[in-house]
Amino acid sequence: MALIRNPFDHDLPSADSPQVHVHLDGKWVDVPLGLNVIEVARRFGKLIPHYCYHPKLSIAGNCRMCLFEMGTPKLGPDRKPVLDGEGRPELQWVPRPQIACATTAFEGLGIRTASPLVESCQKGVMEFLLANHPLDCPICDQAGECKLQEYAFDYGKGRSQFGEEKVRKPKRVDIGPRILLDDERCILCTRCIRFAREIADDDCLGITERGGYNRLSIHPDQRFTSNYSLNTADICPVGALTTKDFRFRMRAWFLKETQSICVDCATGCNVTIGSREGFVYRLTPRVNEAVNSHWMCDQGRLGFHPIHSKHRVLEPARRVETGLFPGEWPLVLGQVAESLRKLEPSSLALLVSARLTNEELFLVQRLRESLRGESEIFTEVVPRKGQADGLLRSDDLNPNSKGARILGIGADGEKLPELRKRIEEGKVRALFCLHEDAIGAGVPEEMLERLSLLVWQGILEDKSCERAHWVLPGASFAEKSGSMVNRAGQVQRLHRAIPTPGRAKEDVWILRGLILALGGEDVGQSVPDIFSKMVATTPAFHGFTWSGLGDQGVPLPAQAG
């Protein structure tokens, strides 16, 4: 079950529904009783085109694009189905086309998805939808991923008889802080209205005016401020709802799509990263019924922007009296390793981020092993707390707290006060911050000044970075591959979408370099190699393989999480 409760699951019939026989375009197939006809066709590789139907929203039945020819078993005089030579019921076809979205499978249902009647219906509906549509595809953001465009090619006539003046409606309507509405493009499918009402629980959209002048409107006293508002732009089949963030930034067909996960909180919503030439343009939710279903929050979706910030740290460097002095990676790694080796192990502490991947955390574990003498090296993660919203957002804003716990790196920052005490008492004199700001984590600035060694690895300048003796530029979530464990224990993969900027490096590369410089065992260069090493030494991950995680991830066994 998804971590968000959908009011409707038309594509997921309950497991105990009995199988029924359905006649789909000339073939008898078995499907669960009550399965939506659009989903029946989809399961057998046929597309019944549709606009208003969405598997997670209530049925509206208003676009009329999914009209199909329905058959029912012919009944004999004894009110029992008449059987043909093969023992299958003979069908009689209802003369009126029916909407597939409001029809569910039953024994002996006949479905024709491509008969002359169906094609005539599809052509008719396409012509009507395009009649008053502005046809401004060249400047429309939806072009390339527009259902109106796609179906016009696949099911339309190819030309219109419309020779009248088009209806004019409002354009560029600012309905919310992150979303814009173009009423002329809207085909009034009401998906957004139903999403706002049924899932986002912010019932502020509706239809005003009448007939051909109908238009989508926002309640006069309201703004669409929901943290889930941008999902409406995803489910909008046309370019009526566009996100202010992505609008006019990039044509959809230029985007390279990389499957990854959102790292804004512990839910780990599955996303597709849309990037081009080393630049991320957008994140869109990717369907995963074990995690986020079809949705993600606006905060997570827009949270990628800092990775292109001008405050990114781009060069490995050492602090000298006049400031940071850039160095070459092999030299820097060698010198950092040398400094670490000289330390008394008990005087070193690692402040690690629970936003790192399992593989990175595993290498931190290995680094700790290669440095330790008789005593343990202090490690802890920094907690980030937010507010859970009952939908997708978790109160834990670290995407991999579970992974950090499993790999023994830290547990929600329970030991942070102790770290501060140890630094105060002078027991800890060296600190290695991995993607964390020690000051932000509660270590006062003047204490950092007292340290004999402060190594900082991360992506964005922060106060600790300003005081660090060594600065190691790492990678953001979009620049690396790896795995994370979400709040429900789903082990999911990230994939590298863009290269690291400047001379920044992936964190596994940096950590492996340090381990090798310290004379530790080589765990391999590639993330899959590291993953299999990690699996071998971590009982919780027993039996997992990198490729086995797939696009949807794999849940941890119940006792491990």
Partner 1 sequence: MTKVGAANDRLAEHRIILRFVDEPDYTTDIDCYLRHGGYEQLRKALSMDPAAIVAEVKASGLRGRGGAGFPTGTKWGFIDHAKNRKPVYLLCNADESEPGTFKDRQILYKDPHQLLEGMIISSYANRAHLAYIYIRGEMAHGAQILERALAEARAKNFLGANILGTGYDLDIFVFRGAGAYICGEETGLIESLEGKRAYPRIKPPYFPAVLGLYLCPTIVNNVETLCNVKHIVEMGGAAYSKIGTPNNTGTRIWCVSGDVRRPGYFEYDGGAITLGELLYEVCGGIRDGNRLKAVIPGGSSAKVLRAGEIYPIRRKNSEGRLEEIEMKLEDLPLDFDTIAASGSMSGSGGIIVMDHTRDMVECLNNLSAFYAHESCGQCTPCREGALWMHKILDRMREGEGRPEDPQQLLDLADQIAGRTICAFGEACSWPVESFVAKFREEFEAKAAAKEHERLQPAC
Contact set with partner 1 (CB under 8 A) = 59-65, 67, 96-97, 99, 102-103, 120-121, 124-125, 127-129, 131-132, 161-165, 167, 187-188, 206-207, 209-214
Q: Which residues pair with 73 in a beta bridge?
A: 91
Closest CB 164 distance from partner 1, rounded Å: 4
Among residues 112 and 512, whose Cβ is nearest to partner 1? 112
What are the residues whose beta carbons fall under 8 Å from the beta carbon of 23, sequence distance 6 or more?
29, 71, 88, 91, 108, 109, 110, 111
Nearest to residue 69, comparing CAs of 127, 123, 121, 10? Answer: 121
By three-state DSSP, how is residue 221 classified?
coil
Contact indicator for 386, 393 with CB cutoff of 8 Å:
yes
Minimum CB distance to partner 1, residue 48 (Å): 15
Angle (CA) 377-382-384 rounded to 5° is 165
C-beta of 64 vs 405, nearer to partner 1: 64
CB of 297 to partner 1, least distance (A): 29
In the sheet that 453-458 helps form, which strands lie side by side, from edge to edge?
323-326, 317-320, 470-473, 453-458, 430-434, 348-352, 378-381
Residues 6+ apart with CB under 8 A from 55: 8, 9, 10, 11, 12, 36, 39, 294
Do 90 and 113 touch, CB atoms closer than 8 A?
no
Q: Which is nearer to partner 1, 187 or 527 (CB)?
A: 187
Helix (H) / strand (E) element for 431: namely strand 430-434
Q: Which is nearer to partner 1, 13 or 383 (CB)?
A: 13
Minimal distance, residue 125 CB to partner 1, in Å = 5
**Quick one: 64 or 312, whose CB is closer to partner 1?**
64
CB of 389 to partner 1, least distance (A): 28
Report in angstroms how near the CB of residue 102 gets to partner 1 at its nearest.
Answer: 5
Beta carbon nearer to partner 1, 133 or 393: 133
Q: Is 285 exposed, middle or buried (0-12, 13-18, 19+ CB in 10 A)?
A: buried
Cβ distance to partner 1 smaller for residue 1 or 207: 207
CA angle in degrees (0–180, nearest 5) for 542-535-546: 100
Q: What is the DSSP annotation of 537-548?
A: H-GGGTT--TGG
Q: How far is the CB of 141 from partner 1 (least distance, A)?
A: 23
Question: With contact defined as beta carbons under 8 Å apart, do 224 and 203 qualify?
Answer: no
Q: Residue 129 Cβ, how far from partner 1 at the closest point, in Å?
A: 6
Cα distances from 350 to residues 318, 353, 415, 476, in angstroms, run 19, 10, 12, 20
Task: Give Dmax (Cα) for the chain.
Answer: 100
- CB–CB of 261/290 below 8 Å? no
Least Å distance, CB 130 to partner 1, is: 9
Q: What is the CA radius of gyration of the chain?
A: 29
DSSP secondary-structure letter at 241? E
**Residue whose structure tokens are 């700790």:** 368
**Among the listed residues 61, 42, 43, the one whose alpha carbon sits nearest the alpha carbon of residue 51:** 61
Closer CB to partner 1, residue 127 or residue 289?
Answer: 127
- For residue 190, the one-letter residue type is T
The residue among 3 and 99 lying less far from partner 1, judged by its C-beta, is: 99
The residue ranges of DSSP E strands in 113-162, in sequence order, are none
Between 23 and 64, CB nearer to partner 1: 64
Q: What share of the chain is helix, strand, coil (3-state, %, to 5)?
A: 25, 20, 50
CB of 210 to partner 1, least distance (A): 6
Q: Which is nearer to partner 1, 188 or 443 (CB)?
A: 188
Cα–Cα distance, 529 to 390 (Å, whole number)? 37
* In the complex, minimum distance from the CB of residue 167 to partner 1, in angstroms, rounded to a whole number: 7
Nearer to partner 1, 129 or 371 (CB): 129
